Amino acid sequence: MGLPHLISIVGAGPGDPELLTVKALNRLQHADVILYDALIGDEMLELANPGAVKIYVGKLNNDGQNQMERQDGIHQLFLHWASENKKVVRLKTGDPMIFGRGAEEIRFCKANNLNFEVIPGVTAAVAGSSLFSVPLTERGKSNMLLFYTCRKENDCFPQLEPLVSVLQTGSPVVLYMGLHHLSELSGKLLERGISGKMPVQILCKISQPGQSSYSTILSKVEEFLSEKKPCTPSLLIVGEHAERI
């Protein structure tokens, strides 16, 4: 199987089409096939080659899909369209290498001798920090940053102690996919001595129509969530200095 097929694993950013990189837009405009995620909006797809085949391959929380089967189906589409010598864009929310299964798709392409490239995207943490003026790092305050996914394993939060250690330094933790478990996680952090006054920022629909943000503190998370209903997709920033400027 040879050129000119090309698999472009493209980060679409957090939702606003204007946050696409120039290179990502170029690939969309010249794609034969686009395999796109659940959170990719119509406005972004309208920027693509109008003749491109557009195939939804995304997932949503608790949508009932078997994720191993879904990912295998994406890989098989890579093989099929590569055999047709097509230019394929695998359009992924955010950045392919941050909680985006980009590594799995790269390994598959390498194992099957597919011609591929990876185009970075703006991940939600970076976009949310800038759009809502919540610094992730700042001289004399925050010298490191942790990205953490709140997916539980065996009914536990994995690697919880390193998360606590980072918060104890004064640096922030960004929680991806964390809203549904925020109340439980906040309790675990309080049990481990994290201050109840620690700020918590909840950023919703970052860069998308209807984006919103909420601020609370760790000890009041449960009370806050009982009164407010933040929408998804959302991202959380927790830290001693995680306050809006």
Enumerate the active-site residues: 37, 59
Q: Is 31 exposed, middle or buried (0-12, 13-18, 19+ CB in 10 A)?
A: buried
Indicate the pairing of strand 199-204 with strand 146-149.
unpaired
Q: Is 211 left (phi over 0), alpha (psi -120 to 50) or beta?
A: beta
Q: Is 13 left (phi over 0), alpha (psi -120 to 50) or beta?
A: left
